[in-house]
Structure 1
Amino acid sequence: MATTTAGAPPVSRGKTAQVHIQRFGAFLTGMIMPNLPAFLAWGLITALFIAVGWLPNGVLGGFGNADLPGAWSGAATQLVMAEDGTTFHQYLGLVGPMVTFLLPLLIANAGGRMVYGERGGVVASIATVGIIVGSTVPMFLGAMILGPLSAWIMKKIDSIWDGKIRPGFEMLVNMFSAGIVGGALSVGAFYGVAPIVTQISTWLGDIVGWMADNHILPFMSVIVEPAKVLFLNNAIGNGVLVPLGASQVAEQGKSLLFLVEANPGPGLGILLAYTLLGVGAARSTAPGAIIVQFFGGIHEVYFPFVLMKPTLIIAAIAGGMTGIGTNVVMGSGLVGPAAPGSIFAVFAQTARGSFPGVILSVVLSATVSFLIAAVILRATRKRDLAAGESGDLSAAIAQTEANKGKSSAALSALVAEERTAEAAEAALSGHGTTTATAVRPIRSIVFACDAGMGSSAMGASVLRDKLKKAGVEGVSVVNKAVANLQDDVDLVISQRELTDRARKHAPNSRHVSVDNFMNSPVYDSVVQEVKEGAADDGVTAS
């Protein structure tokens, strides 16, 4: 069975580091993404019911005095001491318990399940209660650390007596071992881990505060925007920005950190520039990408446009800096993560009173990125048109570089894109270089991306539509996260930056790399091969 579209090149040390960072970011994302509905619910409740919300409610928001006339006695309260030394009962509400207990426990459970299934999730949740109770800040960071670690410890302890338990005692041993280990880890987390993670969270918050005091918060885009294009942003976003943003919301009612990554403005500006000044397939694809990126929130669709012309990263960085700077000046922010990064999700999580600043940050970031991208595209338009009009794109690019006297990163990206498509088509037709001798018919196809929810879902939808129009039935086309791939699928389609990781999870599957999930020539080759295989095996195909 073929395992790759071409002979896998040796992986450089830099490439290995990138893969490791991507894998780490994907693991963090795996803990956050399944729980985004809970984050959204918490954000909406916060926006509505806190004291400065749209519908202030002391019972639900957790700021009302339980001794007030007409107070609802059924609500849970806590004893609070005022500055003057007096005490009173205050409603717990929904906002505090959700951010303090629910969200960290969901994160810990997801991390534990990723490491050791349901058993790992239970032990992770038990242990994380200790770090939650023993800290003074929301323990998102602690849950992301302790959850997987607790599950791993339980897994190692179980391996000690695996296969050595007398028949009939398995349930007893499993229940008591998980209870004892979980309880011990919870106590240990309360006394040992909680103070350390609390201090780390405080330091991270102090760094953000220092950046704000010195007016350099916008410079976060210098790191975040390139990281997004290289699929390295999840480690930053889910590992740092989301926990810090949640802590700021708990203290201040909003945070601009949720908009550092989610702002759709920079991507919108770049795609608009391609729509007006791009050439060839890039120009024709950009308008559709705008809809998917700005309204659908799938930012990955503009990454290939930047990779085709790497200087456009300047436009992305400048747009991101403009958006952050606008929110700093306007004092605006969100009450929860805007995921996916759709303008609708951004508005849904915008704090009361922050709409002018948030809207302005999106508009200005899009404007700045558009102007810079337009200048870059306009400066290279003649050269791009000349290359596009040539019958042989590779030869035209080579000639252009010869005329220029030096190589061009943008043109090299175009050559790489063309060669990737050619190699994929050759492998799918059986003429490429493969590492196995047999090619089985394609009956199952998986689109794999970092989180398994955004761009891969879009690509799977596109291919399913093509197969349907071709009259092919009986072929499974699904989308998954790279980390969740299994080695029982016939064909894996992933973005070029993620293919190395995908091969490790599904080494016996065929792998195809694409630059753009929205529109790739590989899809037509896949449809043709599936249709031919369906005819040979009697699967329905018109």
Structure 2
Amino acid sequence: MSVLIKVKVQNIGRFLSKMIMPNISAFIAWGLISGLFFHSGWIPNKDLEKIAGPMVAYLFPILIANKGGQLISGKRGAIVGSIAIIGAAVNTTSPMLLGAMIIGPLGGWIIRWFDKIIKNNIASSFEMLINNFSSGIIGILLSIVSFFVIGPIIEQFSNILEYSVNIIIKNNFLPLISIFIEPAKIFFLNNAINHGIFSSLGMQEVDKFNKSIFFLIESNPGPGIGVLMALFCLKNQSKDIKSSLRNASIIQLLGGIHEVYFPYVLLNPKLIIALILGSMANISVLTIFNGGLVSAASPGSIISIFAMTPKGLYIVNTFSVAISFLVSFIMSFIILKIFSTNYQENDIKILIQREKTTSELNDGSKLIDDNYLDSRKKINKIIVACDAGMGSSAIGAGILKKILNGLNINIVVSNAAIDSISNDTDLVITHKNLTDRARIQHPKLQHLSLNNFLDYNFYKMLGKYLVKNNIDDTKIFHSDKIENKKEDIKINNLFYFTKKNVFLNKKARNKEEAIRFIGEQLVKQGYVKQDYISAMLERENMMSTWLGESIALPHGTIKAKDSILKTGAIFCQFPQGVRFGDDPGDIAFLVIGIAARNNEHVMIVSNITNALDDKLVIKNLSNTRNVNDVLKLFSQNIPR
């Protein structure tokens, strides 16, 4: 899968998930009401059972549409989305969860478009009147459209989808979806699958059968724990790795954080086979014995699963989790034994790298030398971020808090979704598979990557770095600010793109060749000394400068700052692409080499990323043969 497709899929899935996740408590409340007061529940009560109906018919669609509109256009989008979904909800018999995921964002997009049109055309003192009436009128018009058009179409689509799913279940093909689900989960699409797809299908089933198998497919912790325990049972494992595996198993079983086993599977991708077979076993048991849950189990822990299990299905659901664990455990153990040589080599490499990293980072200095952190910037707030901002990042933030408290370091540490990182953050920590996305969305912040959110060594090394470097030296920072102000006065005349900085239709066999070409141009144009090219290659070997979205920003190490004569950049277009990232699909079509003195690179990188924040612009620049297209874009974003 190419990086562009992967990012697009992640973005769509993440958007769907963001509409459901904030409202998951409402789903849990509905599940508890169903489990307790329905005729098949623990305390049947016909009067209290009536609470559940309006929640499915109206509350859930309004909540989802409200969040969908808010994601697009803030509070006004939320209001319009909430009004618009009512039309579809009252004119259909199916739960309008899928409809809310469409109508809510649609309302947000329309009100945002309307606001752009009238932004500079409202007479003074009429802003409140126009804003309030416009939201109400647009909301009513969309509600009418959803009543007559969108709602019925979505209901027909839902019926077709339900019919198709029933055919799949009747013909025993449902276990085959594991082939797609388990690999997708490994690439951090688990929340998108569970809340963006299965929640909608599950609610339709629950509305008719008071339970659904779809709530116990992605959320089942059995396959992941099977992989972790198979690794734990291998001989010659170090105490640190065994401890990490044991902790990860407990966290997944009781905490429901599935992301903890992803790094181990990415280390040995053959284990995906075991996950698929374990998931197939789970779905087969649920299908044969009519298992399922009354609502979404979030997080996917055994506690949540038991809480959402209807009366009479505890044995079936428990058996499905257990059998998926056994199948995954056995298959993982067999795979690890068959390919034991390869795994041991990988395992040894990890241990060597960990020991090497520990020795090199015993004072935290390597974090600076590798161009990861700027020691001159005091860190007051750290965010540990993941896709949803709930599970794995919460674990990482908790570990880091504990370590920093033990070192008496007073720094704010919290977790968040990548999309929700605030601008006052000083340092962002993400899994290496998510760092590129975090950098693209927050280019002005400092970023660190880790391989595993349970990597205690990483957090300890960061703590040592902070003890040594995070000194509140007012004089140093004050003098820096004075110098920065002087530099800001000069920076307007510091650098700007001209035709000599732009190279189109170039070819390179690999990223080393591309970097050398760009480095040579920096040398020829007087920006850097010759040895800066070696520093660019050294920096690339430390960590890829691949940003995602077809863009790479190669530059030198901090040690090479003395080789920079003046701030400059080279824009290079490679229409055939050059692989810059670790994955085969990490292809860069636009490579921008940077040489910046002091902290000037922050402004240069920031303006470049701002200029390239439109996918259509990136596509056009990747194919243009006109240098002026490049100059026109950057003349509006690079200071001169």
TM-score tier, shorter chain, comes to 0.7 to 0.9
Residue 430 of structure 1: SS of its match in structure 2? helix
Determine whether 1:273 maps to 2:264: no
Contact 2:277 2:327 in 1 (8 A): yes
Which residue number corresponds to residue 430 of structure 1? 368
Deviations 1:141-198 (A, max 9, x none): 0101111110111111011111322222111111110000000000011111011111
Residue 508 of structure 1: SS of its match in structure 2? coil
Residue 409 of structure 2: SS of its match in structure 1? coil
Aligned counterpart in structure 2 of residue 532 of structure 1, from 443, 456, 468:
468
Which residue number corresponds to residue 293 of structure 1? 252
Determine whether 1:494 maps to 2:437: no
What TM-score, normalized to structure 1?
A: 0.82
Residue 535 of structure 1: SS of its match in structure 2? coil
Alignment gaps of 5+ in structure 2: 475-640
Letter of the aligned partner of 2:390 in structure 1?
Answer: M
Determine whether 1:480 maps to 2:437: no
Aligned counterpart in structure 2 of residue 128 of structure 1, from 71, 77, 85:
85
Pairing 1:340-351 to 2, within 5 Å after superposition: 340-351=299-310
How many residues align structurally?
472
Deviations 1:390-444 (A, max 9, x none): 89947xxxxxxxxxxxxxxxxxxx9xx999998999886321146x988512221
Alignment gaps of 5+ in structure 1: 1-12, 62-92, 395-413
Residue 368 of structure 2: SS of its match in structure 1? coil
Deviations 1:488-512 (A, max 9, x none): 3221111112112111221111111
Which residue number corresponds to residue 189 of structure 1? 146
Taking the aligned partners of 1:187 and 1:422, their CA distance within structure 2 comes to 65
What TM-score, normalized to structure 2?
A: 0.70
Letter of the aligned partner of 1:358 in structure 2?
Answer: N
Residue 188 of structure 2: SS of its match in structure 1? coil
Which residue number corresponds to residue 209 of structure 1? 166
Determine whether 1:37 maps to 2:22: no
Taking the aligned partners of 1:95 and 1:299, their CA distance within structure 2 comes to 30
Letter of the aligned partner of 2:248 in structure 1?
Answer: A
Determine whether 1:54 maps to 2:42: yes
Change (3 A) 1:428 1:339: farther
Query: What's the offset of the Cα at 1:282?
Result: 3.3
Residue 471 of structure 2: SS of its match in structure 1? helix
Which residue number corresponds to residue 242 of structure 2? 283
Contact 2:378 2:472 in 1 (8 A): no
Deviations 1:44-100 (A, max 9, x none): 101111222222211122xxxxxxxxxxxxxxxxxxxxxxxxxxxxxxx11111111
Taking the aligned partners of 1:431 and 1:227, their CA distance within structure 2 comes to 35
Deviations 1:269-296 (A, max 9, x none): 1111122116234333110011110000
Residue 521 of structure 1: SS of its match in structure 2? helix
Which residue number corresponds to residue 71 of structure 2? 114
Query: What's the offset of the Cα at 1:233?
Result: 3.3
Aligned counterpart in structure 1 of residue 439 of structure 2, from 484, 489, 503:
503
Aligned counterpart in structure 2 of residue 150 of structure 1, from 107, 111, 117:
107
Change (3 A) 1:148 1:421: farther
Query: What's the offset of the Cα at 1:377?
Result: 2.2
Which residue number corresponds to residue 329 of structure 2? 370
Change (3 A) 1:424 1:210: farther
Deviations 1:121-159 (A, max 9, x none): 111100011111122200100101111110111111011
Which residue number corresponds to residue 323 of structure 1? 282
Which residue number corresponds to residue 513 of structure 1? 449
Change (3 A) 1:326 1:535: same
Taking the aligned partners of 1:57 and 1:375, their CA distance within structure 2 comes to 51
Letter of the aligned partner of 2:425 in structure 1?
Answer: V
Which residue number corresponds to residue 308 of structure 1? 267
Taking the aligned partners of 2:182 and 2:465, their CA distance within structure 1 comes to 38
Letter of the aligned partner of 2:435 in structure 1?
Answer: T
Which residue number corresponds to residue 469 of structure 1? 406
Which residue number corresponds to residue 353 of structure 1? 312
Contact 1:275 1:286 in 2 (8 A): yes
Taking the aligned partners of 1:134 and 1:351, their CA distance within structure 2 comes to 30
Query: What's the offset of the Cα at 1:365?
Result: 0.4
Deviations 1:9-34 (A, max 9, x none): xxxx7112112211221111111111
Change (3 A) 1:340 1:218: same
Contact 1:424 1:513 in 2 (8 A): no
Contact 1:486 1:506 in 2 (8 A): no
Taking the aligned partners of 1:509 and 1:186, their CA distance within structure 2 comes to 41
Query: What's the offset of the Cα at 1:525?
Result: 2.7
Contact 2:362 2:464 in 1 (8 A): no
Taking the aligned partners of 2:7 and 2:70, their CA distance within structure 1 comes to 23
Which residue number corresponds to residue 444 of structure 1? 381
Letter of the aligned partner of 1:189 in structure 2?
Answer: S
Taking the aligned partners of 1:531 and 1:420, their CA distance within structure 2 comes to 16
Deviations 1:326-363 (A, max 9, x none): 01111111000000001000000011221111010011
Letter of the aligned partner of 1:298 in structure 2?
Answer: I
Which residue number corresponds to residue 398 of structure 1? none
Taking the aligned partners of 1:276 and 1:173, their CA distance within structure 2 comes to 67
Residue 446 of structure 1: SS of its match in structure 2? strand
Change (3 A) 1:35 1:462: same
Query: What's the offset of the Cα at 1:299?
Result: 0.6
Taking the aligned partners of 1:448 and 1:197, their CA distance within structure 2 comes to 35
Determine whether 1:460 maps to 2:397: yes
Which residue number corresponds to residue 616 of structure 2? none
Contact 2:368 2:375 in 1 (8 A): no
- Which shifted more, 333-342 or 103-112? 103-112
Identity of aligned residues (%): 42
Taking the aligned partners of 1:358 and 1:229, their CA distance within structure 2 comes to 24
Residue 325 of structure 1: SS of its match in structure 2? helix
Change (3 A) 1:192 1:374: same
Residue 493 of structure 1: SS of its match in structure 2? strand
Change (3 A) 1:391 1:18: closer
Letter of the aligned partner of 2:199 in structure 1?
Answer: V
Letter of the aligned partner of 1:432 in structure 2?
Answer: D
